[in-house]
Chains A and B, each alone.
Chain A
Amino acid sequence: MSTTAGSPATAAAPPRGRRLVAPVIAVGLGAIAIAALVVLLQSAPRRSGTNLTTNTGFVVPLGGGQQLCEPGELIPAGTGALRVAAAVARGSAPALEGTLQNEAGAVIAAGRLHGRWRAPGVIDIPVRPATRETAGGTVCVRNLGAPPVSFGGSTPDGSFVITIAGHPFDGRLRIEYMRPGSETWLALAPTLAHRFSLAKGDLVRHWAIYATLLLIALAIALAARTLIREERAG
């Protein structure tokens, strides 16, 4: 460790032609930008919400021909599928039917997943049409085949009670509500920006997304500038 301030070895700035910091920063930030773009263009199914239930295992059973109904669900807007974890003890995976009802019991969306899905696994039961936001909704899943299916969820789960084949069951199915089809992160950006504005203080929430982007840009620009200046200063 040197203890000499401003020693001859360190006092003079390097010749202009030898400065490497700016090119290194340019290449590095360029690589980050390219990586970010690649990620932003990746397409996959995206969530519209969840019911916050923990998946502790395949603890919610549904026999052949039976239907389970889970009330008290907040069904997010733009839901096009129900994502659940499911397992089949024996036989091939049966077809499943999903139904979404509003608080009054009217069906607002429904759909079917064909059988022979890969079990155990995470499955998407498509429903149509895409929903509007619905509080106090009920989600029903019917087993259209003979083999019993077990779904991921919690049992018991607080005071939640669902019905299976008309009988009460202490527990809850974990449901992830999915938007229709696949989307890139870039396509989802406006939705993310809206979500970013929720559940924060009124003081910040309406401009938080813009401020965040600005602050990040400021931090990077200032860091780059400082590194370049310090190299010149020696």
Chain B
Amino acid sequence: MSAAAPGAPAFGGAASAPRRRSGVSAALAGAVRAVPAAAWACAIVALANGLAWSLIVPPFQVPDENAHYAYVQQVAERGTLPHEVQPEGPVSPREDAVLASLLTFGITGHRGNPAPFTQLQQDVIDAEVRKNLSARGDGDALTATGNPPVYYVLQAVPYKLTPSGKVLDKLAVMRWLSALMGAATVLLVFMFLRELLPGTRWAWTTGALMVAFQPLFGFISGGVNNDNLLYTMAAGVLFGIARAFRRGLTPRRGLVIGAFLGVGLVTKLTLIAFVPATAVALVLLVWRAPSRSRGEPGSAADEAPSPESADLPARDVARRGAFVAAAVALAPVALYLLLNHFVWNRVAVPGGVGGVASGTTGHTFSLREEISHVWQLWLPRLWMRPQFTYSPLWETWFRGFVGRFGWLDYDFPGWVYQVARVITLTVVAFAFAELVRRRDALRRRAGELAVYVLAVAGLCAEIGIQSYRELVSTGGVFEQPRYVLSLLPLYAALVALATRVGGRRLGPAIGAALVVLAIGHDLYAQAITIARYYA
């Protein structure tokens, strides 16, 4: 660990380590050394918190954890990806027996029903485990079936390495890997803030710790769910973009952006929401790159030129960077599509793209209604036909982000959300004041800001479209508050901006106060979780 000074490069920048030492490992080692000690500390905080959550939440009480486990099981046991089996049924005798002995579906969705906590119930679980039933199912992984495989392939490693064949042991170890991904997310959030607000060191720590102690994030980090890797990749994309905006786009920085985006897309297709923002970012980065050669003032001088680009004008270097980003992002997606089609015999996009057939729900697909639905999912209804009987902005997104846990079956007392509203409005007001105060700098960075706004809009549209299509095809509700956690870096940025209102003296104290509030919030969430399942 090194406490690199602000502005020192990381992740492919001009680290102090000898740059010509060949090999990917040297580059990676340099990148790791360039990460400040505070970033590692924030990541360890997130890891500890995620691990704590992984022990607090009973097995299979994280949303869809049974399905995600089934996917990993399919990968690890058969070496293939799951495929749809109709009618949807059991996953594997071993997992099904454990799910039944844990009384899983008597607990999920019923906040009054605790986890098994009598010795007789433990004896039943032990008896099921001793049967050593087959871990091979019929190939279906329930709601996870259509997901891309990267997260599950990674989770197959702890699955295989866990010495016992017991479902609950494997699940526990798989949860540790998820917590590690949560730590990586927080590290990338720190690095994102470092690029975004390079002059305000305390704000990086504040923002990263706010994410580390965000209860919904901690809860998901403690479970087996591919959202965990999605959040990491989303944070990586935003970090890569911020870095390129600050230091200029080069092939290596393009590689970082493309790698995070590409791997993210084959982790969960939700990250397609970031594609327009990334594309606009690349265009802007090329457009604004000076058409003079590297090494001249104002060029991307903090990255030593590679032999093949040393004498190129900066714009050409940026073009190369954009090309590398696009190619690296597209490569895993193309490979995934080809393998799906020719090897795995699966549809790449569950439900396909384009229109959606209405089921027996009474809803008929209409583009106009879809647009209205997307709008109302996030914003107040204007003249449109009502799409919801409640306010999604408050009920789903705000209350959900503050805290709704389990299979969305328990939450805080009502006063917590009211207090959270006041604090949130204050933070937003502080952040807005800071933006107004720094409007000149903001104007200079309007393009970059537009990219982040586009990332938010892209995610809102993507979730909204899926929400509407789920409504039309099944009548069900798709959206869940955890889907917005891909925007955690921007949440951290909002908090970091707010702390800067206090200036050099009060800023760190405001940040510390917010982090302490987040700690209290997280502890309270863990307390209600213990009360929910064990009391």
Q: Interface residues, chain A, CB within 8 Å of chain B?
A: 1-7, 9-10, 14, 18, 20-21, 24-25, 28-29, 31-32, 35-36, 39, 46-47, 49-50, 52, 54-55, 74, 76-77, 133, 135, 174, 176, 185, 188, 192, 194-196, 198-204, 208-209, 211-212, 215-216, 218-220, 222-223, 225-227, 229-231, 233-234
Is the CB–CB distance between A201 and B59 below 8 Å?
yes
Is the CB–CB distance between B199 and A5 below 8 Å?
yes
Chain B residues 484-535 with CB under 8 Å of chain A are: 497, 504-506, 508-509, 511-513, 515-517, 519-520, 523, 526-527, 530, 534-535
Q: A49-B114, A74-B120 are in contact. Are A200 and B59 (CB under 8 A)?
A: yes
Is the CB–CB distance between B205 and A199 below 8 Å?
no
A-B contact pairs, 17 of them (CB 8 A): A1-B497, A2-B198, A3-B198, A21-B508, A28-B516, A50-B114, A198-B117, A201-B59, A201-B168, A201-B169, A215-B51, A219-B45, A222-B44, A226-B205, A227-B205, A229-B38, A230-B38
Q: How far is the CA of A174 from the CA of B505 in the complex (A)?
A: 58
Selected contact of B520 from candidates A7, A35, A212, A216, CB within 8 Å: A35
Is the CB–CB distance between A28 and B517 below 8 Å?
yes
Q: How far is the CA of A24 from the CA of B509 in the complex (A)?
A: 6
Selected contact of A77 from candidates B118, B506, B520, CB within 8 Å: B118
Known: A50-B114, A201-B168, A202-B166. 12 other contacts (CB 8 A): A1-B434, A1-B438, A2-B197, A3-B441, A5-B198, A185-B535, A199-B125, A216-B49, A218-B48, A219-B212, A223-B42, A223-B213
Contacts of B511 in A (CB 8 A): 21, 227
Q: Kindly report which residue of chain A lies nearest to residue B513, judged by CB atoms.
A: A24
Is the CB–CB distance between A216 and B526 below 8 Å?
yes
Contacts of B173 in A (CB 8 A): 203
Contacts of A234 in B (CB 8 A): 201-202, 504
Q: Give the shortest distance, in Å, between A47 (CB) and chain B (any CB).
A: 6
Q: How far is the CA of A198 from the CA of B115 in the complex (A)?
A: 9
The number of residues on chain B lying at the interface, defined by a beta carbon within 8 Å of a beta carbon of chain A, is 85
Is the CB–CB distance between A25 and B516 below 8 Å?
yes
Q: A4-B198, A215-B48 are in contact. Are A192 and B504 (CB under 8 A)?
A: no
Q: Report the stretch among B81-89, B103-111, B274-282, B454-462 that lies at the interface.
A: B103-111
Is the CB–CB distance between A203 and B162 below 8 Å?
yes
Contacts of A233 in B (CB 8 A): 3, 38, 201
Chain B residues 237-291 with CB under 8 Å of chain A are: 246
Is the CB–CB distance between A204 and B121 below 8 Å?
no
Q: Kindly report which residue of chain A lies nearest to residue B109, judged by CB atoms.
A: A54
Is the CB–CB distance between A222 and B45 below 8 Å?
yes
Is the CB–CB distance between A212 and B52 below 8 Å?
yes
* Any A CB within 8 A of the CB of B100: no
Contacts of A196 in B (CB 8 A): 530, 534
Is the CB–CB distance between A198 and B435 below 8 Å?
no
Selected contact of B172 from candidates A21, A188, A203, CB within 8 Å: A203
Contacts of B441 in A (CB 8 A): 1-3
Q: How far is the CA of A215 from the CA of B513 in the complex (A)?
A: 21
Tell which of B44, B113, B441 has the most Cβ of chain A within 10 Å: B113
Which secondary structure dominates chain B's binding surface? helix
Q: How far is the CA of A3 from the CA of B38 in the complex (A)?
A: 20
Q: Give the shortest distance, in Å, between B502 (CB) and chain A (any CB).
A: 9
Q: How far is the CA of A9 from the CA of B125 in the complex (A)?
A: 62
Selected contact of A223 from candidates B3, B45, B497, B505, CB within 8 Å: B45
* Any A CB within 8 A of the CB of B22: no
Contacts of B196 in A (CB 8 A): 1
* Any A CB within 8 A of the CB of B171: yes
Selected contact of B41 from candidates A74, A174, A222, CB within 8 Å: A222
Is the CB–CB distance between A20 and B535 below 8 Å?
no
Q: Give the shortest distance, in Å, between A234 (CB) and chain B (any CB).
A: 6
Selected contact of A204 from candidates B38, B113, B172, CB within 8 Å: B172
Is the CB–CB distance between B520 and A28 below 8 Å?
yes
Contacts of A14 in B (CB 8 A): 504-505
Contact mask for chain B residues 172-206; partner A; CB cutoff 8 A; 1 contact, 0 none: 11000000000000000000000011111110111
Q: How far is the CA of A215 from the CA of B515 in the complex (A)?
A: 17
Is the CB–CB distance between B6 and A52 below 8 Å?
no
Q: How far is the CA of A176 from the CA of B442 in the complex (A)?
A: 58
Q: Kindly report which residue of chain B lies nearest to residue A210, judged by CB atoms.
A: B55
Q: How far is the CA of A220 from the CA of B121 in the complex (A)?
A: 35
Q: Give the shortest distance, in Å, between A95 (CB) and chain B (any CB).
A: 26
Is the CB–CB distance between B442 and A1 below 8 Å?
yes
Contacts of B41 in A (CB 8 A): 222-223, 225-226
Q: How far is the CA of A7 from the CA of B46 in the complex (A)?
A: 30
Contacts of A211 in B (CB 8 A): 51-52, 55
Q: How far is the CA of A225 from the CA of B45 in the complex (A)?
A: 11
Tell which of A5, A6, A25, A76 has the most Cβ of chain B within 10 Å: A5
Contacts of A231 in B (CB 8 A): 202, 508, 512
Contacts of A215 in B (CB 8 A): 48-49, 51-52, 55
